[in-house]
Amino acid sequence: MASLAVSRLGRYLLTVITGGMLAGAVAAQSDSASLEAQRAAFKQAYAAASQGGDGWRSLAGNLQDYPLYPYLQAASLEHDLQQVDRATVDAYLRQYPDLIPANDLRRDFLQELARRQDWTNFVAMYQPGLGDALSCDALQAQLAGSAKLDFNRDLATLWATPALPSACDPVLQTAYDQGLLTPARIWARIDAAVDAGKPGTISSMAKWLSPEDAQTAQKLVLALNDPAAAVTAAKQWPDTSRTRQAVTLALARLAHRQSNTADTAWQTLQGRFHFSPEQRDRVLNALALFHATDFDDNALARLINLPASAQTPASREWRVRVALAEKNWQAVLDAIAALSPTQRDDDEWQYFRARALSELGRSEEAQRAFASVAEQSSYFGYLAADRESAPYALCSTQLAANEQAQQAVLATPGMQRAFELFAVDMPKQARREWSQALANADAQTIRQAVILANERGWYDRAVFAFNNGDALHFYTLRFPLASQDGVVPQAQQAGIDPSWAYGILRVESAWMTDAQSGADARGLMQLLPSTAATVARRNGLAWNGGDSLYDPAVNIALGTRYLAQMAERFDGSPWLASAAYNAGAARVNQWVDARSQLPPDLFVATIPFKETREYVARVMYYSVIYDWRLHGTAAPLSTRMLPIGQPYSRLDPPDARKDLTCPAPKVVAASSAPAPAAAAPAATTSTHSAPAKDKVH
């Protein structure tokens, strides 16, 4: 009987528990369905609000408790800004005083009030810190009340800015009329504009100088805009401090574009003008540096003979690169020794020091040097590991979820808005809410927020949040796979290595689906709409215009095919195709024609463009990381970087794959005496640091 009672009680409890669980599941499904319905309704209402008027309100009847509801009225007001009155805007600002759309509305309405020249309402609503244009509008409002300007109080900060918006023109003219813009102040701003490369600012300042000084200022404009014309005209210029400034500027800029022409001009002009030692050093540095990037026959000698006062970090590095291009291994060692201590500690120069030692037959020293570099998780660390047949260094840490901390994140209104904005495909606004909500958060909160973002497919949050220190160990979050976007099947269909495709994507956009470059490259793999249209047509893929590139599936399908096209042009080589993806195939062909005899590591090191050198290194490093993410091991970097002219195929598997392991920390014996301070090595690059530019641009 007792057993029967227990059995009945057990069945009863099981029924209760199961029923409770079922009810919870139903409630969760109901909540999820309700949230999806709100998101769909918000998208409709927001589209209507963006057209102005109050039509959006009929579509937002059930959205008053939705976190993004304030964005609707703000969108409508922004559209109707020229008809809106201050009372309407003030009402919104009072209702949502700390929200991002309220701050945007205040800024934009102030610009509208300035356009109307409604200075009374402008002054009533103005807040400092809204940008240079509104700062100047505020000064116009002050002048409208017949107030006088004070240079130190009103203009000093603006004056130090090399370029100002047109809203500042009336204020600067008034300042000149009031006698505040003295020649000394005008020339100080011209000098700042020269340093910033802003010829337009110089021209606008010249009108307030004497006719003679204005002509001198225009010489600086010519040096910036057309250095070749400037050095030609300089043969007739007088020898004054300002003309020497212009000639120096022109020669340095011309060296960048036409090093031989600049050389000839320098031979003519150096005896005509009494250049200061600093000016002479600047010209000599530019000539040596840009003869080096052209790999001229005497480039190495020029860099070696460059006076110490004329040397810079860039000229010292290029001394190494030219020596590498010549395979002059003793010159490589000498050039590395001439680097600053900070430069020498960079893993690139540690690696090439080991290469030089090996080529010179100093095997034991080379082995020790390679082993040291191989402890670093980096492009050069992995090149060194291949030389030593060692595993790749990678210390990966899994970030544990903390439910309590995550609930606190989700309870924050700003984070609620951030996650919802991401869910309704408004990533730019989502990033702004994220940044504001976490501006003062501790590391634990940020890390839990990143986990939540990753679960929602918001992958770029980890890339930006985990870009230094111990956070670099969170490799699985920093290098997501995002299988739903189709990288692996699309890469396989295109005939390229999925790990390489992932590497390109990670470098190009850092997983920002809405990334857009100044050249209008768009989306995850940063394709130009014109390029994407051609790729789509060539491969028989659908094309729905440039905005479709913000769809990850579309972008990846086209991006992988374009990568395959680049690879076809370079014998399938992923490292050369990566360079072409960044700098263009025509440039890469020029470099190949000039230096095809170099092995891949030396070729990459001698790419003239810093951006492309670093790009190739990051892509190849990230390809290894993604190979590990996909398979648990990785193809050796050396198998991806075959010599120029040797065909590469991802279908030819390497004989052995690499393990990625965490090296044991070096242990210093307690009895060891500390090294003298003078002999202590400078801080080295973190053994777990990724190549530069993990931080967004």
Q: Tell me the CB-side half-sphere exposure of residue 460, using CA atoms within 13 A.
A: 23
Q: Cβ distance 579 to 613 under 8 Å?
A: no
Rg (CA), the chain: 31
For helices 498-509 and 552-569, the axis angle rounded to 10 degrees is 110
**137 with 171: CB under 8 angstroms?**
no
Other C-beta atoms closer than 10 Å to the C-beta of 565 total 18
Q: Up-side HSE of residue 369: CA atoms within 13 Å toward CB?
A: 23
**What contacts 416, CB < 8 A, 6 or more positions away?**
67, 410
The two tokens of residue 367 are 């082995």
Distances (CA, A) of 247 to 222, 253, 275, 279, 280: 10, 10, 9, 9, 11
Q: Is 403 designated active site?
A: no
| Gap between the Cα atoms of 607 and 292, Å rounded | 11
d(CA 551, CA 159): 44
Alpha-helical runs (H) found in 510-665: 529-539, 552-569, 574-583, 585-595, 600-605, 610-631, 637-640
Distance CA 372, CA 681 (A): 14
Catalytic residue (choose from 348, 420, 433, 508): 508
Structure tokens at 374: 């191989």
Is-contact 661 391, C-beta < 8 A?
Answer: yes
Distance between CA atoms of residues 140 and 163, nearest Å: 18
Instruction: Show Cβ contacts of residue 9 under 8 Å, excluding neighbours closer than 6 positions.
Output: none
Q: Nearest CA to 657 among 679, 682, 639? A: 639
Distance CA(308)–CA(528), nearest Å, equals 45
Structure-token pair, residue 117: 């020249």
Q: Name the token pair of 74.
A: 């703000």
Residue 627, CA distances (Å) to 1, 268, 303, 526 in order: 63, 57, 40, 22
CA dihedral of 534, 537, 540, 545, whole degrees rounded to 10? 80
Q: Catalytic positions, please? A: 508
